[in-house]
């Protein structure tokens, strides 16, 4: 018995982290949905959900309760086992990918030697949830939406993978935590060394998560809801959870590979150490903003609520500032690392939302053309370019900034050539020569 406990002891902390993630993720995904609705409202000059709870903050809870209580409909002649299995596959793939991601120097479930490859593989398994869900629904809309969605995912997966390979060439290792440490060691985030890879990954990851402007397979006006048409109630909630989990995963991958993970800007430059105060100052600014807006609220509950939020933000600011003033037991690396990581992931997801509410939807043939004719060639050229830059720097002794500048300009030239010579077909999709 004792040796059984001793055997499991090193696995207890990762197990705790895994339980925390599995328990907290649906709640976080629900609040990301609320943030998206509020951001959408802000960009459309309105207020968004305001009724349920102060400023609509209990809206995700209301949505969750409604979805749990809905009638569970299974279409006639649908394959019941696969119908049941498909949303589970999507959610499992999303959650498994979260297990290899470092949310800070101290919060990672498993630092795999092949972390990046594992995450790419698990993300490619999420396609099955979509394809099998669409097929099992025994409905034309679902099957078409599923096939289109998976074709889109497969096409952009290549481009995303190669963009990650560019950053991988710079890092020299597949382990996610080590990639962040390499960025710390070199003192520069990889987005400044390989910006084209970052933008390729940004676009490809929007397509990977079926977000607008690449959301044709699940757009309401096009295919009802694509592969999710026949799913109602909690099964649909699982698909939705999977989609937002994928957004968080993709944001985390981009943060680790390109945006320096848990590092603050200019991690090694000691002259800029005042950046360490930025988290606390930011939270204090949020608290101050809440206190400033509190008297202007029409309803007393909302006033009190904003004061409470301000108090919470001030508390978080105090916790973040504490390690800088020598308070023991609070690790600066863990707290600040977690804060910077979450901030960067949130900014990445905010860009996703921003793009969603700004651009119209791509038609499916335009989407495939963008993926195959533009993004994949640019990714390939980028990988070769980064290789050339590394050889120029290491073997021929060019300065680092010069080598990577030349590479970026060369890749941009190729991208510009591809964009300029792309014959756009304005014919209708049916019978068009695509």
Partner 1 sequence: MLDKVVFYFFAGLAVLSAILVVTRRNVVHSAIFLITALLATAGIFLQLHAEFLFAVQIILYVGGIMVLFIFVIMLVNLDVALHQVQFNRQTLLALLLTLALAAQLGLGLRLGRSVMFAPARPGPLEPNTELVGRTLFQNYMLPFEIASILLLVAMIGAVVMAKKKV
Residue among 7 and 329 whose Cβ is closer to partner 1: 7
Question: Applying CB under 8 A, does 41 fall inside the site for partner 1?
Answer: no
C-beta closer to partner 1: residue 8 or 192: 8
> How far apart, in whole angstroms, are the C-alpha atoms of residue 213 and residue 54?
31
From the list 45-53, 74-82, 266-274, 315-323, the region that binds partner 1 by CB under 8 A is 74-82
Window 147-166: residues binding partner 1 (CB under 8 A): 147, 150, 154
Cα-Cα-Cα-Cα dihedral of 12, 16, 17, 18, to 10°? 100
Torsion angle, alpha carbons of 174, 180, 182, 184, to 10: 180
Q: x/- site string to partner 1, residues 406 to 425, per CB under 8 A?
A: --------------------
Question: Total residues at the site for partner 1 (CB under 8 A)?
Answer: 25
Question: Which region holds residue 77: left if phi is over 0, alpha if psi is between -120 and 50, else beta?
Answer: left
Q: Does 144 bind partner 1 (CB under 8 A)?
A: no
Site for partner 1 in 81-140 (CB under 8 A): 81-82, 85, 112-114, 117-118, 120-122, 124-125, 127-128, 131-132, 135
Q: Which is nearer to partner 1, 155 or 408 (CB)?
A: 155
CA distance 150 to 191: 29
Q: How far is the CB of 86 from partner 1 (least distance, A)?
A: 10
Q: To the nearest whole angstrom, how small is the minimum distance from the Cβ of residue 337 to partner 1?
A: 26
State the minimum distance, in angstroms, from the CB of residue 118 to partner 1: 6
Is residue 224 involved in binding partner 1 (CB under 8 A)?
A: no
Q: Near partner 1 by CB under 8 A, which window of 78-86, 180-188, 326-334, 360-368? A: 78-86
Which residue number, 101 or 127, has a Cβ lying nearer to partner 1? 127
Binding positions for partner 1, 316-345, rule CB under 8 A: none
Q: According to the binding rule CB under 8 A, does residue 79 interact with partner 1? A: yes
365 makes contact with partner 1 (CB under 8 A):
no
* Closest alpha carbon to 28 in 71, 64, 73: 64
Residue 2 token pair:
């004792």
54: its two tokens = 């102060």
Provide, rounded to whole angstroms, the least separation between the CB of residue 339 and partner 1.
31
Query: Does 7 participate in binding partner 1 (rule CB under 8 A)?
Result: yes
How far apart, in whole angstroms, are the C-alpha atoms of residue 219 and residue 224? 7
- The interface with partner 1 within residues 174-203 (CB under 8 A) comprises 174
Q: Count the neighbouring beta carbons within 10 Å of the beta carbon of residue 190.
A: 26
Q: How far is the CB of 384 from partner 1 (least distance, A)?
A: 15
Q: Which is nearer to partner 1, 103 or 135 (CB)?
A: 135
The CA-based dihedral angle spanning residues 73, 240, 217, 152, taken in that order and rounded to the nearest 10 degrees: -130
Please, what's the b/e burial string for 282-296 (b: 16 or more CB within 10 A of its CB; e: otherwise)? bbbebbeebbeebee
Q: Residue 363 has what DSSP assignment? A: P
The tokens for 107 are 């919060």
Sign of CA dihedral 4, 9, 13, 14: negative
Distances (CA, A) of 142 to 243, 334, 367, 413, 428: 17, 45, 19, 41, 22
Shortest distance (Å) from residue 125 CB to partner 1: 6
For residues 305, 66, 346, 371, the Cα torsion angle rounded to the nearest 10 degrees is -160
Binding positions for partner 1, rule: CB under 8 A: 7, 79, 81-82, 85, 112-114, 117-118, 120-122, 124-125, 127-128, 131-132, 135, 143, 147, 150, 154, 174
């Amino acid at each position: 018995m004792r040796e059984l406990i001793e055997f499991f002891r090193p696995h207890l902390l990762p197990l705790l982290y895994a339980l925390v993630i599995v328990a907290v993720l649906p709640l976080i995904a629900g609040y990301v949905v609320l943030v998206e609705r509020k951001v959408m409202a802000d960009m459309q000059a309105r207020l968004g959900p305001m009724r349920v709870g102060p400023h609509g903050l209990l809206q995700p809870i209301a949505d969750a309760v409604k979805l749990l209580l809905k009638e569970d409909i299974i279409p006639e002649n649908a394959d019941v086992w696969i119908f049941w299995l498909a949303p589970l596959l999507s959610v499992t793939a999303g959650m498994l990918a979260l297990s290899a991601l470092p949310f800070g120097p101290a919060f990672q479930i498993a630092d795999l030697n092949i972390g990046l490859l594992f995450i790419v593989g698990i993300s490619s398994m999420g396609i099955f949830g979509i394809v099998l869900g669409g097929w099992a629904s025994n409905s034309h809309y679902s099957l078409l939406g599923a096939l289109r969605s998976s074709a889109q995912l497969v096409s952009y997966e290549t481009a995303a993978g190669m963009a990650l390979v560019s950053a991988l060439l710079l890092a020299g290792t597949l382990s996610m935590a080590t990639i962040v440490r390499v960025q710390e060691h070199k003192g520069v985030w990889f987005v400044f060394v390989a910006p084209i890879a970052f933008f390729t990954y940004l676009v490809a990851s929007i397509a990977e998560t079926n977000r607008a402007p690449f959301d044709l397979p699940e757009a309401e006006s096009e295919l009802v809801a694509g592969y999710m048409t026949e799913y109602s109630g909690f099964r649909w909630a699982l698909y939705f959870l999977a989609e937002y989990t994928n957004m968080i995963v993709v944001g985390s991958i981009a943060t680790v590979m390109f945006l320096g993970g848990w590092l603050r800007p200019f991690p090694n430059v000691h002259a800029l150490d005042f950046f360490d105060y930025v988290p606390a100052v930011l939270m204090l600014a949020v608290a101050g903003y809440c206190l400033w807006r509190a008297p202007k609220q029409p309803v007393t509950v909302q006033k009190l609520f904003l004061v409470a939020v301000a108090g919470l933000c001030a508390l978080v600011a105090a916790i973040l500032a504490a390690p800088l003033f020598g308070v023991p037991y609070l690790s600066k690396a863990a707290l600040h690392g977690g804060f910077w990581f979450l901030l960067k992931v949130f900014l990445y997801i905010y860009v996703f939302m921003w793009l969603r509410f700004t651009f119209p939807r791509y038609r499916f043939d335009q989407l495939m053309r963008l993926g195959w004719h533009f993004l994949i060639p640019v990714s390939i050229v980028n990988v070769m370019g980064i290789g050339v830059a590394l050889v120029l720097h290491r073997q021929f002794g060019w300065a680092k900034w010069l080598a990577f500048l030349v590479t970026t300009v060369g890749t941009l030239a190729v991208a510009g050539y591809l964009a300029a010579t792309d014959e756009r077909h304005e014919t209708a999709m049916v019978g068009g020569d695509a």
